[in-house]
C-alpha cells in the first residue's frame, strides 16, 4: 500500500463518528440494574400482597372481643393449601369447626384427621391436622367464646390435649391427669372456658385387652384435676358432658344412664334412660334446671326433644317440631325465645332408613353412617325445622361456639375459592427464586458489558 493511499484511508476514518463502546456499556448496565430492581420490587409485592388478596381479609389480627360472631349459613371445603390455625395473620375467634371425609379434610397419610376452622365474623378458613379420625363436636371442641380449640395430642408417650389459641397462635399442652393413661381426649368445656373435662383410657392388663375410662375436670391455669368418674363403660354420643349456665353442675351419659355431678366431683343423682333416648348434647340443660333428651320415635323414625328433671322424671316436653330423615340429632343450645339449635345428621343412602334395630345412639353419628350435616332451628309452635346451615356431602361433623349459639345470629356465607394462603406462599417463593435467577443473569450480563471499551487490534 502506497503512502498516499494510507493517508487517504486515515483521513476518511477520521471523518467517521466514533462509537463509544464504554459509555454505551455503562448505560446498558445501569438500565439493566433499574429493570432488575423493578422485577425484585414486583416479586416482593406479590409475596406480601397476593396471599392477603386471596384471603380477602385484613392482615391485622382480629381482637378476641370483636363483635359480630355469627353462624355462616353454609360451609365450603377448605381450599388447597389452606393456612394452619397458628399461621399469621391470626384467625381470631371462630364460629364453627368441622370435619369429615371431603376434599381437604383427608389425606394419604392422616386419613380423616384434618379439621377446618371458620372465623367468627367472616369466611376465613384455617386447618389443623389431628392425624386420625377425630370428629368435630365429639373429640375436637371449640371453647365457648370460640377462641380456643381443644384436640387430642395424638402422642402415645405423652397423652394429653392440645389447646390452640386462635387469637395468639399459641399451643398449650394440657397433660393427662390420669397416671398410666394411653389416650386423652376433650369431652366438654366449662361455660367460662376456664376448665376442660377430659376422658382418659387406661389399660388394666399388660396385653391391653381391658381398659377403664376416667372423666376428670381439669383447670387450665393450674392443671388441678377433679376426678368425676371411673368406669369400664365408655361415655357415649359425641360430647357427653353438659354444664349448667353457671358451671356448678354437669350431666353426662354412661351407657344407658345419665349421671349428674357437682363441679367438685360429688355425684348428685342418676337415672336410666328411656329406650331410643340419649342425653341431648352439650346444650342439654334448660334454663329452668331440667334436662333435655333426644328421642327417636321407633314407628315414624322422627327425632325430637323430651324433658326430664335431674331424677329422670318426665316433664312436659317443649312444643318443638321434630326432625325426619336423619340418623340422629344433637343439641347445641337454646335461644331466649325457647328455640333450640341442633345438629342433624343426614344418613348415607346405603344406610337403611329407619336404621337397623340395635344401632346404638353413638354409632348413629359414625362417619360411615352419615352423608352430611345441617344445623337446624326448632322453634316453638313451628310446623317444621328451619335450616340455618348447610354443608357439602362428606362434611360429617361440626361444633359451634356457645357464644355464636347464644347470639342467635346467622350471616350470609361466602366460602373461599381457589388456592389458600400456603399455596400462594409457595407460588410466591417460586416467583422469588425465579426473580433471583433473572437478577443474577442480568447482573452477570451487565458486568460483562461494563468491563470497558472494545479494542480492535
What local confidence, expressed as pLDDT, does residue 363 receive? 84
Give the pLDDT confidence of 139-164 residue by residue, as tens digits: 999 999 999 999 999 766 789 999 99
Listed by start position, the domains of the chain span 273-408
- Reduced to 3 states (helix: H, G, I; strand: E, B; else coil), residue 349 is coil
Q: What is the pLDDT of residue 80?
A: 87
pLDDT value of position 238: 47
Measure the CA–CA gap between 16 and 31, rounded to whole angstroms: 28
In this prediction, residue 64 carries a pLDDT of 40
In this prediction, residue 331 carries a pLDDT of 97
Cβ proximity of 72 and 95 under 8 Å? yes
Secondary structure of residue 12 in the 3-state scheme: helix
CA-CA-CA-CA torsion sign (399, 383, 394, 135)? positive
**Could you give the CA distance from residue 305 to residue 293 in angstroms, rounded to a whole number?**
6
Instruction: Please state whether the peptide bond connecting residue 430 to the residue before it is cis, i.e. omega within 30 degrees of 0.
Output: no
Residue 318 in contact with residue 357, Cβ under 8 Å?
Answer: no
Between strands 71-72 and 410-411, the pairing is parallel
pLDDT at residue 362, as a whole number? 76
Extract the C-alpha cell encoding 374: 345441617
pTM, rounded to two decimals: 0.81
DSSP string, 218-257: EETTT--EEEEEEESSPP-SSS-EEE-TTSSEEEEEETTE
State the Cα–Cα distance between residues 286 and 18, nearest whole angstrom.
97
Instruction: Specify the pLDDT at position 236.
Output: 55
φ and ψ at residue 65, rounded to 5 degrees: -100, 20
Say what the pLDDT of residue 346 is: 96
With a cut of 50, which residues of the chain have pLDDT below it?
19, 43, 47-66, 237-238, 423-427, 454, 456-457
Amino acid at each position: 500500500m502506497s503512502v498516499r493511499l494510507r493517508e487517504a484511508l486515515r483521513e476518511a476514518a477520521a471523518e467517521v463518528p466514533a462509537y463509544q463502546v464504554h459509555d454505551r456499556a455503562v448505560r446498558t448496565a445501569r438500565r439493566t440494574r433499574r429493570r432488575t430492581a423493578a422485577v425484585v420490587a414486583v416479586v416482593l409485592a406479590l409475596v406480601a400482597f397476593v396471599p392477603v388478596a386471596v384471603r380477602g381479609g385484613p392482615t391485622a389480627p382480629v381482637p378476641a372481643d370483636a363483635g359480630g360472631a355469627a353462624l355462616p349459613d353454609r360451609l365450603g371445603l377448605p381450599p388447597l393449601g389452606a393456612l394452619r390455625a397458628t399461621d399469621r395473620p391470626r384467625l381470631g375467634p371462630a364460629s364453627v369447626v368441622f370435619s369429615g371425609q371431603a376434599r381437604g379434610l383427608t389425606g394419604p397419610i392422616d386419613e380423616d384427621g384434618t379439621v377446618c376452622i371458620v372465623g367468627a365474623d367472616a369466611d376465613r378458613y384455617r386447618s389443623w391436622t389431628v392425624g386420625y379420625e377425630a370428629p368435630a363436636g365429639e373429640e375436637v371442641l371449640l371453647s365457648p367464646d370460640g377462641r380456643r380449640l381443644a384436640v387430642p395430642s395424638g402422642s402415645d408417650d405423652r397423652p394429653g390435649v392440645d389447646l390452640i389459641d386462635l387469637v395468639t397462635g399459641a399451643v398449650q399442652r394440657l397433660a393427662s391427669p390420669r397416671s398410666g393413661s394411653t389416650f386423652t381426649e376433650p369431652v366438654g368445656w366449662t361455660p367460662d372456658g376456664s376448665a376442660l373435662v377430659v376422658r382418659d383410657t387406661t389399660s388394666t392388663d399388660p396385653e391391653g385387652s381391658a381398659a377403664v375410662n376416667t372423666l376428670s375436670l381439669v383447670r387450665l391455669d393450674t392443671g388441678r384435676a377433679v376426678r368425676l368418674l371411673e368406669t369400664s363403660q365408655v361415655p357415649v354420643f359425641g360430647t357427653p358432658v353438659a354444664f349448667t349456665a353457671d358451671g356448678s353442675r354437669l350431666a353426662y351419659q354412661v351407657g344407658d344412664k345419665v349421671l349428674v355431678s357437682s363441679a367438685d366431683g360429688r355425684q348428685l343423682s342418676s337415672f336410666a334412660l328411656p329406650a331410643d333416648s340419649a342425653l341431648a348434647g352439650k346444650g342439654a340443660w334448660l334454663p329452668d334446671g331440667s334436662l333435655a333428651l333426644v328421642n327417636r320415635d321407633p314407628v315414624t323414625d322422627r327425632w325430637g326433644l323430651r324433658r326430664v328433671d335431674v331424677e329422670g322424671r318426665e316433664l312436659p316436653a317443649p312444643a318443638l317440631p321434630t326432625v325426619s330423615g336423619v340418623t340422629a340429632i344433637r343439641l347445641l343450645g337454646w335461644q331466649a325465645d325457647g328455640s333450640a339449635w341442633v345438629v342433624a345428621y343426614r344418613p348415607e343412602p346405603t344406610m337403611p332408613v329407619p336404621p337397623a334395630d340395635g344401632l346404638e345412639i353413638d354409632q348413629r353419628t359414625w362417619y360411615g353412617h352419615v352423608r352430611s350435616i345441617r344445623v337446624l332451628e326448632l322453634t316453638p309452635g313451628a310446623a317444621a325445622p328451619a335450616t340455618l346451615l348447610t354443608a357439602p356431602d362428606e362434611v360429617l361433623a361440626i361444633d359451634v361456639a356457645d357464644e355464636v349459639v347464644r347470639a342467635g345470629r346467622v350471616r350470609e356465607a361466602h366460602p373461599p375459592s381457589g388456592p389458600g394462603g400456603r399455596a400462594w406462599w409457595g407460588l410466591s417463593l417460586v416467583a422469588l427464586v425465579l426473580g433471583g435467577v433473572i437478577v443474577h443473569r442480568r447482573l452477570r450480563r451487565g458486568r460483562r458489558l461494563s468491563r470497558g471499551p472494545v479494542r480492535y487490534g
